[in-house]
Amino acid sequence: MKFNLFQYLLILFVVAIVAFSITPVLRKFARKAKLLDYPGGRKLQSHPVAYLGGLAVATPITLGSLLVIFTSIPIDLKNQFFIGLILPSLFIAFIGLLDDLYQLPPWPRFITQSGVGVVTSLLLYLSDSGVKFFDNPWINGLVTSLWMVTIINALNFMDNMDGLATSLSIVISLSLFIISYLNGQYLLAALCISLVAACIGFLFWNRRPASIYLGDAGSLYLGFLLAAISIRVDVNANSEIIRALVPLLIFTIPVFDITQVVITRIIKGKSPFEGGRDHLSHLLLNIGLSEGKVLTLITISALILASFGVFLAVGN
C-alpha cells in the first residue's frame, strides 16, 4: 500500500496535535500523583519535573498504528508491524515506566531490555530482516541483538538535558522516513513520520525549561522503535561498507556518547549503568557552553551526520 504526501501530512498533523494536547494532561496527573524527577546530584534541573512524558509520546503513536488494521495491506505485514514493532515497544515502555516509578536496579532492567532486543532480532529474521553483513547467521543475529540493545540504551543515556533526546529522535526519525519512503517501504515510513510528529508535539513541553520529561518509559520506547526501524529499512547499496555506514552516521551522536561513557566508567572501575555527569552534553557544559548552545550544537551535528547517511543511502 502506497501512502501519498497528503496522508503523510495528515499523520504528521494529527499525531503532533494529539501529543501536544495530551502532554499537559499527563503532566498535571504526574504532579498530583507526585511522579516527579527531583533535582540534586547529577540532575541539571532546579525544581521537580513531572514524569510520564513517555506516555505522551507512545499514546498517539499507538493509536495511529491501530489504524493499520483498517488498511488494505496484507495480513502478514500487519502481523510483522504489530508483533515485531508495536507490542514489544509498549512492553519496553512499561519496563521503563516501572523504573521511573520504582527505580529498578540497573542489571534486571538491562537484562529485560536485552531480552526484548534478542526476541525482536529473532522476529526480524523470521520476517527476512535483520543485519546481513556476514555469511554466518549466528553472527548476524548477534550483531542485530547488539545493535538493538546499544541503541535502546544509547537514547536512554542521551535523555540527560531538556529536549535533547526528543530533538535527536526527531532528526533520526526524519532520516529514516526519507530512506524508507524513497525505498517504497511506505508503512515503515508512516511509522517514522508518526515518531517525528509525536516528538514535535511533545517537544513544546519538553524544551528548556522542561515541565515534563520523557523518563525511561519514553526514552526506552523511542530507542527501541528507532533501533528496530533502522534494521528494517532497506539501504539499496552494493557496498556492505555503505550499508553499515548509513545507520552509524544517523545514530552517530548517541552511539558515540554511550561508547565513551561505558569505556570511561569501566576504566574508572564504575558500573556502566551508574548515573553520572560524564555524557557528551555534560562535557560540553564543562567547557563553558550554555545548555541552549549545547542542545543546538549536538542537534545540528546530528542533523549534518544524518544527512550524510541519507545521501549515502539514496545516492547509490
Maximum separation of any 2 CA atoms in the chain, in Å: 55
Residues forming beta bridges with residue 49, ordered by sequence position: 37
Of 257, 267, 252, 242, the residue nearest 305 (C-alpha) = 252
Comparing CA positions, the residue from 185, 155, 176, 160 lying closest to residue 250 is 176
Peptide bond before residue 209 is cis, with ω within 30 degrees of 0 = yes
Q: How far is the C-alpha of 163 from the C-alpha of 166, rounded, in Å?
A: 5
- Lookup: cell for 99: 523504573
Give the Cα separation of 157 and 261 in Å (integer): 9
> Which residues in 68-215 belong to E strands, given as ranges?
none
10-residue mean pLDDT series, the chain (316 residues): 81 95 95 82 70 93 80 72 85 90 78 78 65 70 86 93 96 97 90 96 94 93 94 80 91 97 91 84 94 97 97 82
Distances from the Cα of 288 to the Cαs of 7, 12, 120, in angstroms? 45, 37, 42
Q: In the prediction, which pLDDT does 134 show?
A: 67
Beta bridge partners, 50, equal 36, 212
Note the pLDDT of residue 234: 84
Q: Which residues of 89-122 are buried (b: 16+ CB within 10 A; e: fewer)?
A: bbbbbbbbbebbeeebeeeebbebbbbbbbebbe
Residue 70's pLDDT is what?
67
State residue 212 phi and psi, 5-degree precision: -155, 145
